[in-house]
Structure 1
């Protein structure tokens, strides 16, 4: 099958690429990224402007989209920019993919995603989930991890400290509050894309630890 991946330079996205390249079920991987990446084997990378996505039918033809796009308020620099990266870009990708025949969309969302949340981050994630479902893909899977465990290229002190604390407390914590390894999340995303089960499905943090 052919998959299209956005957010491939992030912690989870890198794991998705690694696993997809080794997966015999995947015949072709298209990556859309702001920064150019090397194409190799069944991996074809394209540098794009997410504010002006190209209308190239060959670029968008895929069996499933896996989206791991996401930022932080600190990295984005403002709420407006965060909303654009975490809501508008994934939704624009979905619309383009659907326009050219895409039937499955798999999103790396977040535990606590809720349109009515008082927390901005969770509210944005909830709005994206809602708006994706309104597009009527044949298959939508919302993967909702908690704190993601893994080695990031950028250092996040608060996240690193929380990850250490949750790792120490893991034996006594409920499964939903434990760290979710990036490779587990990537595997859930990839499996959901391959299965492409009809309807809307959720993968909770409990199953990812």
Structure 2
């Protein structure tokens, strides 16, 4: 009988993180799911769920990454963060720190990046995501899975006018750039955690759309 796994989710209260938590808590292959959060009021009560509270300004949260699978859904916007520096702290610094801890604990690291991630991009958002990917690809992680979704669709806590407008006109975009449901990204991440053969793999939005939901098969 296969030994049950443990998982840690970073960014568990975000759009993908919430969908992922729900899936992992109902996945019989996990016996414990840890969510590293600033607050846990929006997360469900469940016997498998363990909450670790932190403000991320100290290293008190890093031991929570001593697990089998680390799902990193950390991410913000420049507007919400308040500055480029604050945005970079969340989308680059914290992600790299998490990956370093995962490498130390020999955990499979699964991280959400973005379509268009490129360290040489003139677009600040894409450049930070590309630099993050570049840093992770150089780490001695036993397994690294990078997910590059296009615009995420789903019910957010806050209203984002730019995203709402983009979703309305998504049908005009090339297939590779069309929006992807947050639930679909969560499905892909859960599937890849148990099925990726390569040490390092990058998944496009199109590739994620093609990954089956094993609960429905």
Scaled by the length of structure 2, the TM-score of the pair is 0.87
Structure 2 residue 104 is matched with structure 1 residue 95: no
Q: Which has the higher contact order (CA 8 A, sep 6+)?
A: 1
Q: Does the CA contact (< 8 Å) of 2:103 and 2:140 recur in 1? A: no
Q: Give the drift of 1:30.
A: 0.8
Aligned to 1:156: 160
Aligned to 1:174: 174
SS of match in other structure, 2:169: helix
Aligned residues: 203
Aligned to 1:112: 116
- When residues 55 and 84 of structure 1 are mapped into structure 2, their CA distance, relative to the original with a 3 A threshold, is closer
Aligned to 2:56: 50
Q: Give the drift of 1:97.
A: 2.7
Q: Does the CA contact (< 8 Å) of 1:5 and 1:65 recur in 2? A: yes
Q: Give the drift of 1:75.
A: 0.2
Aligned to 1:124: 128
Q: Give the drift of 1:55.
A: 6.9
Q: Give the drift of 1:204.
A: 0.5
For 1:56 and 1:154, the matched residues in 2 are separated by 28
Q: Does the CA contact (< 8 Å) of 1:25 and 1:194 recur in 2? A: no
SS of match in other structure, 1:146: coil
Runs of 4+ in 1 over 6 A off after TM superposition: none
Aligned to 2:68: 63
Gap regions ≥5 residues in structure 1: none
For 1:90 and 1:76, the matched residues in 2 are separated by 15
Aligned CA RMSD, in angstroms, stands at 1.7
Gap regions ≥5 residues in structure 2: 210-217
SS of match in other structure, 2:130: helix
Q: Give the drift of 1:63.
A: 0.6
Q: Does the CA contact (< 8 Å) of 2:53 and 2:61 recur in 1? A: no
Q: Give the drift of 1:64.
A: 1.2
Q: Does the CA contact (< 8 Å) of 1:175 and 1:205 recur in 2? A: no
Scaled by the length of structure 1, the TM-score of the pair is 0.91
